[in-house]
Amino acid sequence: MQRPAADRLALPAGLVVTLAVLGVVFYYPVSRVLLAAIDPGGAAFAPIRAILADPFYTGIAHYAFADPLGVPEGIIAWVRNGIPLAAVEFGLFGFTAYQAALSALASVALGLPGAYVLARYEFPGRKTLRSVTIVPFVLPSILVAVGFQAMFGATGLVNEFLVAVGLGRIDVMFTLPIVILAHAFYNAPLVTRLVTAAWEGIDAQQIESARAMGASPLRAFRDVVAPQLIPAALTAGLLAFVFSFMSFPIVLALGGLELQTVEVWLYAKVQSLALEEAAALAVLETVITLGLMYLYLRYEATQVGIRGGGTSQSRRPLLAGTKTLGDPRRLAVFGYGLVAAIVFLGPVVSLILESITGPDGGFTLAYYEFLLAQQASAAVGTVKPLPAIQNSLLFAVGTLLLAVPMGVIVSIVATRDGRGGRLAEALLSAPIAVSGIVVGLGLLQTLVFGVDVLGHRLTVTGPVAVVAAHAVAAYPFVSRTVTPALAGLDDRLAEAARSLGASRVRALLTVTLPLIVAPLLAGAAFAFAISIGEFDSTVLLAEGGGSYTMPVALERYVGNRSLGPSLGPATAMGTVLLTVTAVSFVVIDRVGGRYDG
Amino acid sequence: MAEGGGSAAGVELDGVSVTFGGVTALSDVDLSVGDGEFFTLVGPSGCGKTTTLRTVAGFETPSSGTVRIGGTDVTDHSPEDRDIGIVFQNYALFPHMTVRENVAYGLRYRSPPGEVDTAERVTAMLELVDMAGMGDRQPGSLSGGQKQRIALARALAPGPDVLLLDEPLSALDARLRERLRVSIRGIQRELDITTVYVTHDQEEALAISDRIAVVRDGHVEQVGTPQAVYHTPATRFVAEFMGENNVFDATVASRDPPRASLDGTTLPVDGPLPDRERVPLCVRPEDVTLGDGDVTLPVTVEHVEFLGDAYRVHCEWNGESLLAKTRREPAENAVSIGIDAVDVTVVGSQEE
């Protein structure tokens, strides 16, 4: 007797559906945007060439595109002039890369000591700390931007502290350092995570072998440990560079009018309906980020199989009684802990404090009353908090329902031998390397405005497009948490189930999935958080309509100066967003906990 | 007991080949396992014995050939449609289920012959493997040997036609391995269930099987009873793989009486010589004695190991190394050893 075809085809069918969804809500819209720049109807690549040859975008490199033959002559003239380095301009792309490189450096500098502490010291709460390093990464970026404003702004916590101790105010708002610090807030924990994992993966016996052959602890570190950490640190730096290169709300809210990156300019071009130029920018940005992601994946592929085996070094206790205070290393760890606490907790604490502090420094609920007044207002175009909360939660649930199955299917494909892994790799990297603005623009231009399919005009509403965009952004994270768990699962378990009469699908449902519930829920929480915090594509898709979310509302309050130059309403809205995000997390954690035991 | 069902359930492989991405894992394997037989596939790691078992189970699809269970062609059947039970080396117990739930799992999809209550069946199975009263335990709380017993109970619970065991004892320590192999054989006899067993351990294969197939590089070298495989190896590989052996390349000296010549020394041989000039001969170390025999060889003792029940004596004779297993320790370095004609086996005399 042959099994009904349905069972054999379940997985391929799921994959086809996933690919179809991705095709409709990601590849098609994005390629439409990118093609608009490559084939605009006139000369091919004309918009891209125009950008490359524009000194505003490419700085000194524009000569190479505008007049390639004149380059040698130009260099000679430049050398004759005495090599005026200061006069060299790098343009928008140059600046974007420059700030991304500085951000990556800052992230590595801030993240590496964290990895050292987590990998080498034992202290109460270490495991918790290790897992909360994921939190900054999923915090809504616009929220972080407002938090940094609340911390470093003219009336922010830092300045109030400086005044209180008799020092002068500092003015760092809308400068490069604040943008870089905010990027480090995001990416340093990423560095910490990746390097900690690499560190814990080093077999202690390798170090012991080196020591037994006469290497001092320092030499053993240099010869055995460092070579295994450097690749992880470089990769993390590369990721930090990519994320900082594409960063949008941070630069938008903290960069002011002076600091512009490709992504912010791209948004401005879309706003002013210069779509061809926007498309050309999108192509160039995507080429750069996809190239870097490719490098990252190449490295990641080489790391598979190196891990595992052996036990990691045992950790030193961080608190060692009276010895603690005399040990310079432990004191350095505490110093770092203080810096980390200020950088990571400061913005969040400032946000909450600012939302209940009036202009005179006293306690006030005026900003929350303002939110209530907005809610009650009948005026057209008012940004109301309640619909924003409702929309956010609704979209997040929708995202969850779409992204989790998609992520699981891609994970199953990824853990199959052979070509499956490569396909999954390509599927998972593309959404990370394509900016949210481009996805949003693509969806706007295709599904929201309508597409002709066999003579029928097909349109989707804003909310559907928002959920689609969120799911595209979220499912790689679901897959990335599920795949390692799935790969670590013994194939024999599912085979045992099948030998006992369970079909492929039954074996998946009764054996495989129950065993990966915890990572599955973590992935779901990820998807939820990413949807709640997503800003880049939402801000485009929610344009003018009623489907704005909490981050979009927050941005509008930042821009709304009706209450004077106060950040108050934004911090109040930010605190609401923070609360809703935190509560959702607790709920997911509780619901998940039931299946966990 | 009526387990195993009434259907005659032999296993047949007919010209089965399996390839993995262009690499041939099995080439043209023919095997026939009788109903109720305990059949063992033995060979070094990577020889294809596990692939053979997985092909019977349906986890690998042959590129050519036919797999039959109980006379039915099951080549295109999924594992869940084959009425098999399988036990893996690492147990593969479902960690999120209790022992009872593990054993009951197969009963969701299949029923043993006759009206059977699930709870009763699970209890009976746990009793069968000597694990009564362990039903509520979590698999994680069991020892390796206990896990293996539960895995066996789980595989047997739905009353499969064929039981497949993939190195079930390899992860256990030596003592336990010997105890469990006796109970596995006992249960197999009690249920009279057709069993295919995979192991790399030749001693285990000899001890447990009705018949053995020695597998090497994706093909079967020899099939036979443990005694046949041990005493009349069909190939030099079988002679050297199944237990310790001294194998020599000799030439035919005379056919009647059978005599072989080894570097000028004439050896009497047990049985007729094949129609070839060159013949490999083998003599088991335990058949080599200190002192005289039908033929007596002067040897140099190079190294002696004490094993407890015997001495393992590494000798050198005429440039050839020779292994002897003796009750007594050799007194000096230069001794005589004796070999009797009946112990000199011609490798491959059964074939050709």
> Measured between beta carbons, which residues in chain A are less than 8 angstroms from residue B90?
490, 492
Is residue B186 within 8 angstroms of chain A, CB to CB? Answer: no
CA dist., res. A586 & res. A589, Å (int): 5
What percentage of chain A has pLDDT greater than the value 70? 88
Residue A468 or residue A67, greater confidence: A468
My answer on whether A29 and A45 are in the same domain is no
When pLDDT is cut at 50, 70 and 90, the band that residue A563 belongs to is: very low
> Measured between beta carbons, which residues in chain A are less than 8 angstroms from residue B58?
498
CA B151 to chain A, closest CA, distance in angstroms equals 9
Single out the residue of B346, B352, B349, B342 nearest to residue B280, CA to CA: B346
When pLDDT is cut at 50, 70 and 90, the band that residue A590 belongs to is: low
When pLDDT is cut at 50, 70 and 90, the band that residue B1 belongs to is: very low
A140 domain residue, yes or no: no
Q: Scanning every residue of chain B, which has its alpha carbon at the shortest distance from the alpha carbon of A498?
A: B80
* Predicted pLDDT of residue A85: 66
**Mutation target vs A (from B96, B98, B161; most A CBs, 10 A cutoff):** B96
**Domain range B244-346, CATH class:** mainly beta
Q: Mean pLDDT over residues B140-144, rounded?
A: 91
* Predicted pLDDT of residue A593: 45
Per residue in B158-214, pLDDT tens?
999 999 999 999 888 989 999 999 999 999 999 999 999 999 999 999 999 999 999
* Cβ within 8 Å of B, A 405-424: 418
* Predicted pLDDT of residue A545: 65
Per residue in A71-107, pLDDT tens?
777 778 777 777 766 666 777 888 888 889 999 999 9
* Predicted pLDDT of residue A596: 37
**What's the full length of chain A, in residues?**
597
A502–B80: do the CB atoms touch at under 8 Å?
Answer: yes
Size of interface A-B (CB pairs under 8 A): 76
My answer on whether A479 and A496 are in the same domain is yes
A499–B86: do the CB atoms touch at under 8 Å?
Answer: yes
Nearest to B109 among A2, A7, A500 (CB): A500
| Residue for token pair 């285990």 | B204
Q: Scanning every residue of chain B, which has its alpha carbon at the shortest distance from the alpha carbon of A511?
A: B94
Nearest to A492 among B88, B110, B154 (CB): B88
> Measured between beta carbons, which residues in chain B are less than 8 angstroms from residue A509?
none
A453 domain residue, yes or no: yes
* Predicted pLDDT of residue A163: 82
Q: Which residues contact A443 (CB under 8 A, 6 or more apart)?
A: A25, A29, A465, A468, A469, A537, A541
Domain residue extents for chain B: 11-236, 244-346
* Predicted pLDDT of residue B5: 42
* Predicted pLDDT of residue B230: 95
> Measured between beta carbons, which residues in chain A are less than 8 angstroms from residue B92?
490, 492-493, 495-496
**3-class DSSP assignment, residue A382:** coil
The pair of structure tokens assigned to A180 is 């870089």
Q: Mean pLDDT over residues A269-273, rounded?
A: 80
Res. B51: pLDDT tops 90: yes
* Predicted pLDDT of residue B12: 95
B94–A490: do the CB atoms touch at under 8 Å?
Answer: no
Buried b (16+ CB within 10 A) or exposed e, A120-142: bbeeeeeeebbeebbebbbbbbb
CATH numeric code, B11-236: 3.40.50.300
CB B236 within 8 A of CB B263: no
B92–A490: do the CB atoms touch at under 8 Å?
Answer: yes
Nearest to A511 among B90, B94, B151 (CB): B94
Q: Please tell me whether the overall predicted TM-score, pTM, comes out greater than 0.90 for this model.
A: no
Is residue B108 within 8 angstroms of chain A, CB to CB? Answer: yes
Q: Which residues contact A497 (CB under 8 A, 6 or more apart)?
A: A506, A507, A510, A511, B94, B105
Q: Mean pLDDT over residues B64-87, rounded?
A: 92
When pLDDT is cut at 50, 70 and 90, the band that residue A302 belongs to is: low
> Measured between beta carbons, which residues in chain B are less than 8 angstroms from residue A490?
90, 92
CATH number of residue A436's parent domain = 1.10.3720.10
CA dist., res. A363 & res. A369, Å (int): 13
Of A217-226, A320-329, B112-121, the range with the lowest mean pLDDT is A320-329
Is residue A384 within 8 angstroms of chain B, CB to CB? Answer: no
Per residue in A11-51, pLDDT tens?
778 888 888 888 888 888 888 888 877 776 767 777 777 77
A499–B84: do the CB atoms touch at under 8 Å?
Answer: yes
CA dist., res. A528 & res. A474, Å (int): 8
Res. A413: pLDDT tops 90: no
B164–A492: do the CB atoms touch at under 8 Å?
Answer: no
A501–B84: do the CB atoms touch at under 8 Å?
Answer: no
A78 domain residue, yes or no: yes
Across chain B, mean pLDDT equals 89
**3-class DSSP assignment, residue A170:** coil
* Predicted pLDDT of residue B2: 37
A513 domain residue, yes or no: yes
- Domain residue limits at A501: 8-37+381-549
Per DSSP, which regions of chain B are E strands? Answer: 11-20, 23-33, 38-42, 64-69, 72-73, 84-87, 162-166, 194-199, 211-216, 219-224, 246-255, 258-262, 265-268, 278-283, 289-290, 295-306, 311-317, 320-326, 334-339, 345-346
* Cβ within 8 Å of B, A 506-525: 506, 510-511, 514-515
Q: Scanning every residue of chain A, which has its alpha carbon at the shortest distance from the alpha carbon of B109?
A: A501
Q: Scanning every residue of chain B, which has its alpha carbon at the shortest distance from the alpha carbon of A502?
A: B80
Q: Which residues contact B343 (CB under 8 A, 6 or more apart)?
A: B270, B283, B284, B287, B288
Q: Mean pLDDT over residues A407-420, rounded?
A: 77
B79–A495: do the CB atoms touch at under 8 Å?
Answer: yes
Q: Give, as one character, the DSSP assignment of residue A23.
A: I
The pair of structure tokens assigned to A495 is 């085979």
Per residue in A235-258, pLDDT tens?
889 889 988 888 888 888 887 767
Is residue A4 within 8 angstroms of chain B, CB to CB? Answer: no
My answer on whether A441 and A490 are in the same domain is yes
My answer on whether A483 and A531 are in the same domain is yes
Is residue B90 within 8 angstroms of chain A, CB to CB? Answer: yes
CA A515 to chain B, closest CA, distance in angstroms equals 7
| Residue for token pair 């958080």 | A529
* Predicted pLDDT of residue B294: 85
A342, HSE (Cβ side, Cα atoms, 13 Å): 11
What percentage of chain B has pLDDT greater than the value 70? 97
When pLDDT is cut at 50, 70 and 90, the band that residue B330 belongs to is: confident
A496–B86: do the CB atoms touch at under 8 Å?
Answer: yes
When pLDDT is cut at 50, 70 and 90, the band that residue A560 belongs to is: low
Across chain A, mean pLDDT equals 80
Q: Which amino acid is at A1?
A: M
Q: Scanning every residue of chain B, which has its alpha carbon at the shortest distance from the alpha carbon of A493?
A: B92
Q: Mean pLDDT over residues A488-500, rounded?
A: 90
When pLDDT is cut at 50, 70 and 90, the band that residue A500 belongs to is: very high
Q: Which amino acid is at A24?
A: V
B96–A1: do the CB atoms touch at under 8 Å?
Answer: no
Q: Scanning every residue of chain A, which has its alpha carbon at the shortest distance from the alpha carbon of B152?
A: A496
Cα pseudo-dihedral A496, A502, A505, A506, rounded to 10: -100
CA dist., res. B60 & res. B164, Å (int): 14
Is residue A596 within 8 angstroms of chain B, CB to CB? Answer: no
> Measured between beta carbons, which residues in chain B are less than 8 angstroms from residue A2?
76-77, 81
Q: Mean pLDDT over residues A477-483, rounded?
A: 84
Choose the final residue of a domain: A25, A56, A89.
A89
* Predicted pLDDT of residue A594: 41
Is residue A493 within 8 angstroms of chain B, CB to CB? Answer: yes
Res. B4: pLDDT tops 70: no
When pLDDT is cut at 50, 70 and 90, the band that residue B147 belongs to is: very high
A454 domain residue, yes or no: yes
A409 domain residue, yes or no: yes
> Measured between beta carbons, which residues in chain B are less than 8 angstroms from residue A499?
57, 79-80, 82, 84-86, 155, 164
* Predicted pLDDT of residue A385: 80
What's CA A444's distance to the chain center, in Å? 22
Per residue in A428-437, pLDDT tens?
767 777 878 8
My answer on whether A48 and A82 are in the same domain is yes
For the ranges A164-168, A358-362, A377-381, B229-233, the maximum mean pLDDT occurs at B229-233
* Predicted pLDDT of residue A544: 62
Give the number of domains in chain A: 2
A506–B109: do the CB atoms touch at under 8 Å?
Answer: yes
Nearest to B106 among A7, A8, A501 (CB): A501
A173 domain residue, yes or no: no
> Measured between beta carbons, which residues in chain B are less than 8 angstroms from residue A4?
none
* Predicted pLDDT of residue A318: 79
CA dist., res. A196 & res. A208, Å (int): 20
Of A53-67, A533-547, B165-179, the range with the lowest mean pLDDT is A53-67
A289 domain residue, yes or no: no
CB A192 within 8 A of CB A337: no
B21–A418: do the CB atoms touch at under 8 Å?
Answer: yes
CA B162 to chain A, closest CA, distance in angstroms equals 11
B76–A2: do the CB atoms touch at under 8 Å?
Answer: yes
